[in-house]
Amino acid sequence: MTKVEILGVKIDNLSLQEILEKVSQFLESKNQHFIVTPNPEFLVAAEKDKNFKEILNYADIVCADGIGLIYAAKFLGKILWRTTGVDLLWAICHLAEQKNCSIYFLGAAEGVAEKTVAVLKKYFPHLIIAGAQSGGLIADPKQIESRLIYEISKTKPKIIFVALGQVKQEKWIFYHLDKLPSVKVAIGVGGAFDYLAGEVNRAPEIIRTLGLEWLYRLINQPGRLKRVINAVVIFPFLIIKSKIFPKNID
């Protein structure tokens, strides 16, 4: 499988179709699997947090979500497919409906996971929903929350979507997946529930195609300024630095 290494994170160059074929195999397998969908902010965070970088590289599939990663790969002379968390979630719901695999929706603010399920049910009426709940504000994703783990595990989901925000959701999956033995595929989906539930408007298609979704989100959510700076200033700086001084990174 082709991997493209950017700032020490090995990203899979897989199309959505190829990802789905793998997910389909994962669902039949005895083992547990973990999918991450990094964008440039993930890689900036991973530069400062080695544990997070190890977790990203430990994942079974690392798919590029974020146009910045595609541009960075190009700049480094490589090619990467882009698959957004929302598109992946949608495609996996379609697959899960066909395969009768139940899904648990964990994360986002109170009531948003339930709203997400209601929206998805309109498009995937036979989708088996194991459960849906907000995980609340997670201070330390390593900490064991027995009640939450118990509530999820008793519904025996095959797939879990975790929307606790980047870094927290990947750490949460990494540290707790083994306590949810029925889960074959766990995916960190960031703000996907917010989009699907209509809490946040997704940028129009044309803006997404132009790679300007970050600008649209900044205008609509000015609180994201620090993250936008990480994505459009710090990340390109680190990429240029990694090209000029390849051995000084990591």
Footprint on this chain of ligand UDP (rule: CB under 6 A): 107-109, 134-135, 137-138, 163-166, 168, 190-191, 193-194
Residue 232 Cβ vs ligand UDP, minimum distance, rounded to whole Å: 14
Phi, psi of 127 (to 5 degrees): -65, 130
Residue 75 Cβ vs ligand UDP, minimum distance, rounded to whole Å: 23
DSSP-assigned beta bridge partners for residue 186 = 34, 160
CA geometry: angle 3, 186, 74, nearest 5 deg:
25
Q: Would you give the DSSP letter of residue 29?
A: S
Residue 44 Cβ vs ligand UDP, minimum distance, rounded to whole Å: 12
Q: Which residue is nearest to ligand UDP (CB)?
A: 190
Residue 161 Cβ vs ligand UDP, minimum distance, rounded to whole Å: 11
If the CB atoms of residues 101 and 192 are measured against ligand UDP, the closer one turns out to be 192
If the CB atoms of residues 198 and 246 are measured against ligand UDP, the closer one turns out to be 198
If the CB atoms of residues 4 and 192 are measured against ligand UDP, the closer one turns out to be 192
Residue 216 CA: distances (Å) to CA of 61, 86, 97, 164, 198? 28, 17, 33, 22, 16
If the CB atoms of residues 138 and 249 are measured against ligand UDP, the closer one turns out to be 138
Residue 35 Cβ vs ligand UDP, minimum distance, rounded to whole Å: 14
Phi, psi of 225 (to 5 degrees): -50, -45
If the CB atoms of residues 83 and 134 are measured against ligand UDP, the closer one turns out to be 134
If the CB atoms of residues 79 and 233 are measured against ligand UDP, the closer one turns out to be 233
Residue 227, by phi and psi: left (phi above 0), alpha (psi -120 to 50) or beta?
Answer: alpha
Residue 84 Cβ vs ligand UDP, minimum distance, rounded to whole Å: 11
Q: What is the DSSP string of 112-163?
A: HHHHHHHHHHHH-TTPPEEEEE-----S-TTS--HHHHHHHHTT--SEEEEE
